[in-house]
Amino acid sequence: MERIDARLADGRELFYYFDKAAPPEGVPADRRDLPNVHTASELRYDALRDEWVVIAAHRQSRTHLPSDDQCPLCPSTADRATEIPAFAYDVTVFENRFPSFTSDVADFPEQPGRRAGRGRCEVVCFTSDHTASFADLTSERVRTVVDAWAERTAALTELPDVEQVFVFENRGAEIGVTLAHPHGQIYGYPFVTPRTRAVLGNIRAHWARTGRDLYVEILEAETASGERIVAATEHWTAFVPTAARWPFEVHLYPNRHVPDLPALDDAERDDFARVYLDVLRRLDAVYGVPMPYIAAWHQAPVRVDRELARLHLELFSSRRAPGKLKYLAGSESGMDVFVNDIAPERAAAMLREAVSSA
């Protein structure tokens, strides 16, 4: 893999990642005349829930469901300049033009429970092929993506305002995706997220009670049972969790305890490409239609509790049947209590039985 660093016309950073060698001629400059990005992100504290909420009104004007010929994530052409100046690319990462967090957020007088939304938001394009999906990628391309994720995670952890790095992909209009081009995002949060704080609190309490790592116990129990295992390799185990919240939910654990993506070695990165593609293709094969999903990487916070956290990927889909979706209704949205329509054991069996196109 090779990387070329560049900047867009408004000063945002852009990184090209190539599966093999970068083109000897380099990459073209952004020929657009762009105004500077203006953001007004603000954090407001919810004292009752002990959570920060992001107010980012400037995102109302972000690009929403453009036609295929107006996609801003496709390569540029001689007639149309996009967010990616190159006429072809393998993988690209660039600063989001409509970020929830940014280091360039305008200052405002600090008030109790309110502060500027400093941090970082990046877009990751997995391929220049507008009609593809992550499941269509080659293992070599997935390895390039993993290397890009790891490099950007390491870079964002060096930023003074970032406390947690979140790598994720939203796929499908049913999830609320506003750009159809295959892509994901990276958030550099200026706080440790509520989900992570709660999980690490449970891990810490379990250590205090038993002297054992709860992550290890979960992986050992799933491996011993085998009932919810979807795929297992030398370096990774993919399983449906016993208390799955979503109709189809798969967690992928590296068999070695590592805190984050940069800590994965070459063998683990190569093996992930194979097992993840297999899981994604099985997911699409369950009902014979593309599954909408969210793929969320859970990594250790930047500065606290790194010894407690274990890197893992949580993949989940809201599709419960052909033509039917699970919605976050009263119990889920109002009380954070999920009601799942498919037993986890049944979902795991359906995924094992699905014919992967790999």
pLDDT digits (tens, 9 = 90+) for 163-197: 999 999 999 999 889 899 999 999 999 999 999 99
Does residue 301 have a pLDDT over 90?
Answer: yes
Beta carbons within 10 angstroms of residue 258's beta carbon: 18
pTM for the structure as a whole = 0.95
What is the mean predicted confidence (pLDDT) over 231-256? 98
Tokens of 124: 């990751």
Pick from 166, 4, 11, 9: nearest CA to 90: 4
From 38, 130, 181, 183, active-site residue: 183
Residue 48 lies inside a defined structural domain of this protein = yes
Tokens of 243: 């208390």
Domain count, the chain: 2
- The Cα–Cα gap between 175 and 156 comes to 26
Q: What does the mean pLDDT of the chain come to?
A: 94
Structural domain including 282 reads 195-248+266-299+307-353
User: Could you read off the pLDDT of 49-98 as tens digits, one per residue?
Assistant: 999 999 988 887 788 888 999 999 999 999 999 999 999 999 999 999 99
Tell me, yes or no, whether 121 and 219 share the same domain: no
Does residue 24 have a pLDDT over 90?
Answer: no
Residue-level length of the chain: 358
Buried b (16+ CB within 10 A) or exposed e, 13-43: ebbbbbeeeeeeeebeebeeeeeebebebbb
Residue 28 lies inside a defined structural domain of this protein = yes
Tokens of 130: 């507008």
Tokens of 164: 């947690």
Residue 127 lies inside a defined structural domain of this protein = yes
Tell me, yes or no, whether 207 and 164 share the same domain: no
Residue 26 lies inside a defined structural domain of this protein = yes
Tokens of 5: 């660093």
> What is the share, in percent, of the chain residues with pLDDT greater than 90?
87
Tell me, yes or no, whether 322 and 216 share the same domain: yes
Q: Which residues pair with 59 in a beta bridge?
A: none
pLDDT at 110: 73
Is 183 designated active site? yes
Tell me, yes or no, whether 215 and 144 share the same domain: no
Does residue 213 have a pLDDT over 80?
Answer: yes
Tell me, yes or no, whether 113 and 160 share the same domain: yes
Tell me, yes or no, whether 199 and 116 share the same domain: no
Tell me, yes or no, whether 170 and 240 share the same domain: no
Query: Which of 150, 167, 191 is at the close of a domain?
Result: 191
Tell me, yes or no, whether 52 and 187 share the same domain: yes
Greatest Cα-to-Cα distance within the chain, rounded to the nearest angstrom: 64
Q: Are 351 and 293 in contact (CB under 8 A)?
A: no
Does residue 282 have a pLDDT over 70?
Answer: yes
Sheet holding 51-55, edge to edge: 51-55, 42-46, 114-116
HEC string for the chain: CEEEEEECCCCCEEEEEECCCCCCCCCCCCCCCCCCCCCCCEEEEECCCCEEEEECHHHHHCCCCCCHHHCCCCECCCCCCCCECCCCCCEEEEECCCCCCCCCCCCCCCECCEEECCCEEEEEECCCCCCCCHHHCCHHHHHHHHHHHHHHHHHHHCCCCCCEEEEEEEECHHHCCCCCCCEEEEEEECCCCHHHHHHHHHHHHHHHHHCCCHHHHHHHHHHHHCCCEEEECCCEEEECCCCCCCCEEEEEEECCCCCCHHHCCHHHHHHHHHHHHHHHHHHHHCCCCCCCEEEEEECCCCCCCCCCCCCEEEEEECEEECCEECCCCHHHHHHCCCCCCCCHHHHHHHHHHCCCCC
Query: Which CATH number goes with the domain that contains 243?
Result: 3.30.428.10
pLDDT at 58: 81
Tell me, yes or no, whether 294 and 155 share the same domain: no
- The Cα–Cα gap between 249 and 239 comes to 8
Query: Which of 191, 211, 233 is at the close of a domain?
Result: 191
Tell me, yes or no, whether 118 and 168 share the same domain: yes
Sign of CA dihedral 159, 307, 113, 122: positive
Residue 322 lies inside a defined structural domain of this protein = yes
Residue 134 lies inside a defined structural domain of this protein = yes
pLDDT at 356: 54
Residue 259 lies inside a defined structural domain of this protein = no
Does residue 358 have a pLDDT over 50?
Answer: no
Residue 29 lies inside a defined structural domain of this protein = yes
Tell me, yes or no, whether 151 and 229 share the same domain: no
What is the mean predicted confidence (pLDDT) over 329-356? 94
State how beta strands 114-116 and 236-239 pair: unpaired
Start-to-end Cα distance in the chain: 23
Query: Which of 191, 206, 240 is at the close of a domain?
Result: 191
- The Cα–Cα gap between 224 and 323 comes to 35
Tell me, yes or no, whether 99 and 213 share the same domain: no
